[in-house]
Chains A and B, each alone.
Chain A
């Protein structure tokens, strides 16, 4: 945040807020996607590959068509396909879900880097921001309150998802499938199909999360684009106790922690940069240790989500 220094120490919380909103957006989409998938009892560890593929696809389509929003849609489509592949393979008997996720991660990242080679130099049309700080004269405040459009969409999505889970038959069906396969089958729900659909939808959201990285911040395509947001989503969902609204808050927290380093750096505090980056992971680990018990399942976890599941 170049102008943060203008405001002195006020620059830090402002930069932090802006940074949190910005950095949290990919987390938000990926975690909502993983939340949906896990609510139905399936875990998708391959979202990192989906994220990167989404970023590359969005960039490519935006570059070719000039429309960043078409890029976002393309990223969602690619994510949908990858999620469907994951969902399909995991629906086969005796397949290790975790391994499939890692395999898709490797494949997705590889494909993205392969196909994205020609995209490293050229620049593609970027996503717009919504200027919530237009009332201020200070450039710093304006910059800080320039919220990207995807974040707004993500926030709305979080509330919509929470409502769907709570108050619709589809949401109830998904929650049942995730809680007990037997209960779901007994009322005639097609467990495999529902999990396939949620995994595909989750992939689509992860793809959108990826599109943010290449079309807003950092806003270009290169091989170091992702900092593991796809894998982090799994931890984030656990931290958020499988609640979409809490996913929103957790994303802000994790994004903010990531933004803490640069924000402090901008006012001259540069030690411990990496330790701040590590804070979200450490926090998640501590939360897991505190809430796990050797005799019982994690509170709030969908009953059928056994993390070492083999079909």
Chain B
């Protein structure tokens, strides 16, 4: 359903995409996308996960070549074969994952990105002059950056600011920001967006802002384009829209799937207990700080938080993939060490995020992957020593049928499955038998609505049967729909707890960002 208003401005758009389409293998990521970005102002690109926003901007930044359609910048049609071409055309992009060299200093990263005043490519660097030059540039912006600090020692928010500074120093005509505020505190987010807003008023700068937060769109954007399923479903000036209309454009006519039925359960026994758990992340920085958490039988406890606040590390410690620095995990009132025997005895299963990377072996077949929990058990091995392939193959076929993993060919390598099917296969392995405790992280990331509904139903099913489910998710809606109790993790600490009835979206959102 398209609602667009005639672009009343007299200015020619600085960037236009006409009928752009992008196909990856069998899937169509973009379909006939037409976008017009004015030379000044903030143009928001809004949409759910998987709507195609990232793909579109990657085409604009030279990472992908569109399969169909054309891109026009500054009135001239452009063929962008690489990020270099995009830079030359005046497009700068700040990515979601950082592209800073971790062991170099901020100054070194900036000098690398921005040629010096003489434009020399291989010559001597006058560090004193460069330091001066960049210090002045940074003074002009309300951002602050320690030029001498090593990038690895910066927080995500600080890194984001350095990335933005880096791009601004190149003097782009169009600056694309991919979900920049997901790693910023609310104050930082306002700082950044506010400054950019002002910059687009003061100079010839167009900003394309990818976001899924309506609040930002209404506060800072001038115009918004909404994508859904790779298509443009709405394009208008902010002044002409309200929240409901915008929501319609985003969600469309998909019937809201009912939350799975919640059965009454007896939740008196604590099955999983996390006590004073402390752990560091890969860089040696403290990620979990004396976290205390308990999950009882027959309940789903949701762990909410902005990505990077310790959720990954919490899941990894519970899954035995990271050693805790201090603290204990108790399961069924016993100390838990994550050995195979304990996993079998306590029936504790984990489904990490990005299962292909964290829970599967990409080169091994689907059947083999499905066998990880059971290959040495009775019935699938002789005396726990010799493997029996036939029973394992049969079990794999059954599981794939039950959990709808496609294609139904168990001998294919795991890596050849699509994201959704990998997720289903991983879930199949964990839910195949009854579990007592289930730890799940971001299970529905990047999946379509139908798959999401299926997985939610399975999680609720496990809970109804009496399992203790710990659901760690960056999707607040998912948590609000499924969890019996909610816990908010911020900078490695539990900062808020509430039950389902008490849950207030606004206050949880604030706690997630540190208020």
Contacts and interface: CB of A to CB of B under 8 A. Distances in A.
A175 B125 contact: no
B83 A168 contact: no
B283 interface: yes
Nearest to B281: A295
Nearest to A300: B103
Contacts of B99: 180, 182-183, 185-187
A180 B124 contact: no
A169 interface: yes
Given A172-B104, A184-B101, A188-B82, 10 more contacts: A168-B122, A168-B123, A169-B121, A172-B111, A173-B112, A182-B97, A186-B83, A186-B99, A295-B280, A303-B102
A242 to B, nearest CB: 10
A170 interface: yes
B165 to A, nearest CB: 14
Interface string B121-135: 111110100000000
Contacts of A54: none
Contact of A183 (B87, B101, B121): B101
A170 B112 CA distance: 10
Given A175-B101, A180-B100, A180-B102, A167 B127 contact: yes
Interface in A170-198: 170, 172-173, 175-176, 179-180, 182-188
Interface residues of B, number: 29
Given A167-B124, A169-B125, A302 B103 contact: yes
29 contacts: A167-B125, A168-B123, A168-B124, A168-B125, A169-B120, A169-B121, A169-B123, A169-B125, A170-B122, A172-B108, A172-B111, A172-B112, A173-B112, A175-B104, A176-B112, A180-B100, A180-B101, A182-B97, A183-B99, A183-B101, A183-B109, A185-B83, A186-B99, A187-B99, A187-B113, A188-B82, A295-B282, A295-B284, A302-B103
A296 interface: yes
A172 B103 contact: no
Contact of A176 (B84, B95, B101): B101
Interface residues of A, number: 21
A179 B120 contact: no
Contacts of A187: 99, 112-113
B99 to A, nearest CB: 4
Interface of B: 82-84, 87, 95, 97, 99-104, 108-109, 111-113, 120-125, 127, 280, 282-284, 323
A148 B95 CA distance: 53
A182 B95 CA distance: 11
A188 B87 contact: yes
Nearest to B99: A186
A276 to B, nearest CB: 36
A41 to B, nearest CB: 11
A209 to B, nearest CB: 26
A286 B112 CA distance: 36
Q: List 10 A-B pairs, minimum CB-CB distance, nearest first.
A: A186-B99, A179-B101, A183-B101, A188-B84, A180-B101, A176-B101, A170-B122, A183-B99, A179-B103, A187-B113
Nearest to A184: B101
